[in-house]
């Protein structure tokens, strides 16, 4: 009877342990000590899905309100929240943090326990009266602790830690890339929208000029050719406005795609603020030095290379001897149920010496070495590609700074020319061709000014992104 009670208690303990482990794995409200007992999670994961690895972190909203005009800051926030690449890189950090935990766990002992309720029946055909039935259980518990392995665990831990750093850097690089794409799409949409506004203003001006010419013709102070030329200019302005409308729809659709919003959504954009060239575009050598030291894509590639080098050490160590401390406890036998109650304890040291594995370890080392060489080549390729992007972005930023200043001077001159020509035309001192010419020049100057503002802001931020220095604070206040 006592054996049955003991067996029942042991089964209850095993069941309770199983329920506890299951609850720990599925419950979201358990302490972090149980979720991450070896403290492998980087702080970024504790914030959940965030816009940028910054403090305090900005979490994504559950709903997006587009009733207000969309600013660049709002576009970046929405795009970062909805972009699947960022979600994938965030999940990669979680997976690699778990891999770091597995590497750290190899330093700890492993414990195991088993209970086996048994029923043993012995029959003697020639002596039925000697038949016996015995109920009982066996209980076993074991501990194993690796004491020495020639650095395999250390190399594995280094490789996983390097890979975690690479995953964190890759997450930042993904954010930089996504922000750069959103910035480019946003200013393309801004340029198209401003172009549409400028074309509409040109159409309105052409309409006013046509009506004024018609009145002058009826009064006999203008020739019919003036009205025909004014009508032609109006038709051209209306055609240009229609083309601008199509370009505006296309650029708005592209921006909505990057934001992860349905293309049919009505999009209102905040107006472009006046931009100046007071921002200094530092020397190219400064940008190249900054990029080489801080760009997350280069950091990620470098950490991957170091992880691959550590995996070569792991492959070499796997073919070396290991030393383990083991201990076991058996109750009521360890090869089957014994008739008499017993307790057996064993303690020992196990030295495992690999003698021959069919040259498997040799080829594992060769493969790890080849992967390390591949990672080194990828590092050089990433470094070269990133620096090339910085050189291009720097050249574009320098060029557009001068272009914006020239566009502002051109716009002032065009406005003065239109005002002067309008006064002269009203007094009959200028013909319609002169007036239409200066009006066309003003429309072109307005477009160049709009393009200059958008290109300056876009290229300035794209240079920061190319150098890996585009922080969320460079764009403006958070939209949420």
CA distance 334 to 328: 10
* Per-residue pLDDT tens over the stretch 301-329: 999 999 999 999 999 988 889 999 999 88
What the chain holds in terms of domains, given with CATH numbers, is 155-319+369-474 (1.20.1600.10)
Whether the CA torsion 71, 73, 75, 78 is positive or negative: it is negative
- Asked if 155 and 314 touch (Cβ cutoff 8 Å), the reply is yes
Span 272-285, mean pLDDT?
62
Percentage of residues of the chain with pLDDT beyond 70: 81
Instruction: Specify the pLDDT at position 274.
Output: 54
The number of CA neighbours under 13 Å toward the Cβ of 124 is 7
Cα 343 from Cα 345, distance rounded (Å): 7
Report d(CA 84, CA 260) in Å as an integer: 9
Cis preceding linkage at 56, omega within 30: yes
DSSP 354: -
- Tell whether the model's pLDDT for residue 4 goes beyond 70: no
Share of residues in the chain with pLDDT > 90 (%) = 28
| 280 — pLDDT class (breaks 50, 70, 90) | low
Give the residue from 435, 433, 443 showing the smallest Cα distance to 418. Answer: 435
Q: Rounded distance, CA 82 to CA 416, Å? A: 47
Average pLDDT over residues 384-412: 85
3-state secondary structure of 360: helix
Yes or no: say if 408 and 452 are a contact pair by the CB < 8 Å rule. Answer: yes
> Which range, of 17-31, 33-47, 64-78, 171-185, averages the lowest pLDDT?
17-31
Give the range among 71-80, 165-174, 239-248, 269-278 with minimum mean pLDDT: 269-278
- Paired tokens of 18: 């199983």
Q: Give pLDDT, residue 283.
A: 82
DSSP summary character for residue 332: S
pLDDT band at 25 (very low <50, low <70, confident <90, very high): very low
Across the range 397-426, mean pLDDT stands at 79
Q: What is the mean pLDDT of residues 414-425?
A: 80
CA–CA gap between residue 230 and residue 226 (Å, rounded): 6
**Residues 6+ positions from 7 with CB-CB distance below 8 Å:** 115, 117, 136, 137
Residue 340: CB atoms within 10 Å: 6
Could you read off the pLDDT of 339-394 as tens digits, one per residue?
667 788 889 999 999 998 889 989 999 999 999 999 999 999 999 999 999 999 88
Q: Which comes out higher in pLDDT, residue 133 or 378? A: 378
Residue pair 315/367 in contact (Cβ under 8 Å)? The answer is yes
Q: What is the DSSP string of 60-125?
A: PPSS---SSPBPHHHHHHHHHHH-HHHHHHHHHHHHHHHHHHHHHHTTS-EEEEEEEEEEEEE--T
C-beta neighbour count of 29 within 10 angstroms:
4
φ, ψ dihedrals at 266, nearest 5°: -75, 125
Q: Which two tokens stand for residue 309?
A: 């080098």
Three-state secondary structure call for residue 265: coil
Report which secondary-structure segment, H or E, holds 307. Answer: helix 296-317
Confidence of residue 337 (pLDDT cuts 50, 70, 90): low
**Short-list 181, 396, 176, CA closest to 298:** 176
């Amino acid at each position: 009877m006592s054996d049955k009670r003991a067996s029942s208690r042991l089964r209850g303990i095993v069941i309770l342990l199983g329920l506890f482990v299951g609850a720990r794995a599925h419950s979201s409200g358990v302490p972090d000590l149980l979720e991450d007992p070896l403290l492998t999670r980087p702080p970024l994961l504790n914030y959940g899905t965030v816009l940028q690895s910054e403090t305090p972190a900005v979490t994504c909203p559950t709903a997006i309100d587009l009733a207000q005009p969309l600013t660049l800051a709002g576009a970046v926030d929405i795009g970062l929240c909805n972009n699947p690449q960022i979600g994938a890189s965030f999940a990669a950090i979680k997976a690699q943090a778990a891999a770091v935990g597995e590497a750290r766990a190899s330093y700890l002992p492993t414990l195991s326990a088993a209970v086996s309720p048994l029923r043993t029946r012995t029959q003697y055909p020639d002596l039925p009266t000697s038949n016996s039935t015995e109920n009982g259980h066996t209980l076993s518990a074991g501990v194993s602790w690796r004491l020495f392995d020639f650095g395999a665990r250390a190399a594995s831990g280094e490789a996983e830690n390097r890979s975690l750093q690479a995953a964190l850097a890759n997450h930042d690089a993904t954010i930089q890339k996504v922000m750069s794409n959103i910035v480019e799409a946003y200013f393309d949409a801004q340029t198209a929208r401003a172009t549409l506004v400028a074309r509409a203003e040109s159409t309105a001006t052409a309409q006013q000029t046509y009506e004024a010419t018609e009145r002058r013709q009826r009064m006999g102070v203008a020739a019919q050719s003036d009205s025909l030329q004014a009508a032609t200019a109006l038709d051209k302005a209306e055609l240009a406005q229609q083309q601008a409308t199509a370009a505006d729809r296309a650029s708005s659709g592209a921006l909505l795609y990057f934001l992860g919003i349905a293309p049919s959504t009505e999009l209102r954009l905040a107006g472009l603020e006046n931009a100046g060239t007071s921002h200094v575009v530092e020397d190219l050598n400064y940008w190249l030095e900054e990029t080489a030291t801080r760009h997350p894509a280069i950091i990620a590639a470098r950490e991957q290379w170091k992880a691959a080098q550590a995996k070569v050490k792991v492959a070499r160590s796997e073919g070396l001897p290991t030393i383990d401390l083991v201990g076991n406890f058996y109750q009521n036998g360890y090869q089957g149920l014994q008739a008499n109650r017993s307790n057996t304890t064993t303690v020992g040291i196990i030295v495992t010496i690999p003698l021959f594995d069919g040259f498997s370890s040799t080829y594992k080392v060769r493969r790890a070495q080849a992967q390390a060489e591949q990672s080194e080549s990828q590092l050089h390729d990433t470094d070269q590609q990133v620096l090339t992007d910085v050189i291009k972005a720097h050249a574009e930023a320098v060029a557009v700074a001068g272009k914006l200043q020239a566009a502002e001077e051109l716009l002032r001159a065009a406005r003065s020319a239109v005002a002067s020509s309008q006064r002269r035309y009203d007094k009959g001192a200028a013909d319609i061709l002169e007036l239409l010419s200066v009006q066309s020049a003003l429309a072109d100057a307005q477009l160049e000014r709009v393009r200059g503002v958008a290109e300056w802001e876009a290229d300035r931020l794209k240079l920061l992104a190319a150098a890996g220095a585009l922080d969320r604070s460079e764009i403006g206040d958070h939209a949420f």
